[in-house]
Amino acid sequence: MTTVSNPPEIKFYNRMTGKNEIEKVYGDWFIRFLYCSVAGKKIGSAFTNKFFSKAYGAFQDLPSSHRKVRPFIEKFNIPIDDYEPGSRPSIDSRDSYRSFNEFFIRKFKRGKRSFVTSPNLMPAFSEARYVGFESINEKETYPVKGSYLLAKDLIGNDQIAKIFEGGPLIIARLCPVDYHRYHYPDNGTVVEHYPISGEFDSVNPLALKYKNQIFIKNERHVSILQTENFGRLAYIEVGAICVGKIVQTHRWNKPFMRGEEKGYFLFGGSTVILVGEKGKWKPSADICMNTSNGIETYLQLGQEVASKI
């Protein structure tokens, strides 16, 4: 019989309520089995590869998967009236999505979210749980002591990474219950972009505790942005277990505007990482304080996430 230990609850600070809250984890048993049990650790590679994640993602495109949508909305209290309905004719918007993936990449209705407009403030580029560091170096550890992230490891190109040595870092973790489109944090242009192949481990804090190199081992897509107010940014989308695909919707050769959609993740939890140039900007004070206490900060899309120095 496989024994699965009970990990501690995942707590985060919700900026909207001003309170610490407990995260409801989709697929909690599976994550605990995969990363906390002896058997799960032995067979984990069968689930953290591209084939499994792509196949599972394709399953979420099947018409039959639409039956999962209403129970998911009800279990996780998704405020579905904030989102545009799906393409399936239905009186109740909860039944309007033709597949689970169509629901998963749902868009906000116009006016439900707004982006801070001050040139000195950076808006949240995802609706997610954030951690942030004023400087990315070997003194800063995340998510556990003894594990740190360096620009060269995240970006996968030593020459480009030199631009961002000692610069600020923000990590936005998207849960399966979240809005899964990601946006540009400022006006600007794409200087360079490239994919990095890799694994598909979970980005859940529990998984990060047991496998602390997930962010530099998972599949990801790197975009180097030249922005109007925050200098150059390395914008990195990280794939995760059961993520069917990282989709880029904005044309690379077209300038982008603050708040404009950059792309979306198909089914699964996922992460966006932002690395900046030293001395250009810093994450918001509450994010840095909570990060130092080992707690993520939940932000709505477009809220202040950082400020110019």
Query: Tens-of-pLDDT digits for all 309 residues of the chain?
Result: 444 455 567 889 999 999 999 887 665 555 555 555 666 555 555 555 565 556 666 678 889 999 999 999 999 999 999 999 999 999 999 999 999 999 999 999 999 999 999 999 999 999 999 999 999 866 665 554 445 577 888 898 999 999 999 999 999 999 888 999 999 999 999 999 999 876 655 555 555 555 555 555 677 899 999 999 999 999 999 876 555 578 999 999 999 999 999 999 987 668 899 999 999 999 999 999 999 998 999 999 999 999 999
Structure tokens at 111: 């006016």
3-state helix, strand, coil in the chain (%, to 5): 25, 25, 45
For tokens 């995969």, what's the residue? 34
Cβ-count burial 68-80 (b if 16+ within 10 Å, e if not): ebeebbeeeebeb
Cα separation of 47 and 64, whole Å? 23
Residue 108 confidence (pLDDT): 98
Residues 134-153 as b or e (16 or more Cβ within 10 Å = b):
bebeeeeebbeeeebbbbbe
Position 50, amino acid: K
Q: Which residues of 108-122 are buried (b: 16+ CB within 10 A; e: fewer)?
A: beeebbebbeeeebb
What is the distance in angstroms between the CA of the first residue and the CA of the last residue of the chain? Answer: 55
Please count the CA atoms within 13 angstroms of the CA of 79 that sit on its side-chain side: 5
Ordered DSSP codes for 86-141: -SS--SSGGG--SSHHHHHT--BPTTS------TTEEEPSSSEEEEEESS-STT--
Give the separation between CA 287 and CA 302, rounded to whole angstroms.
15
User: 143 preceded by cis ω (within 30°)?
Assistant: yes
Return the pLDDT at 269: 64
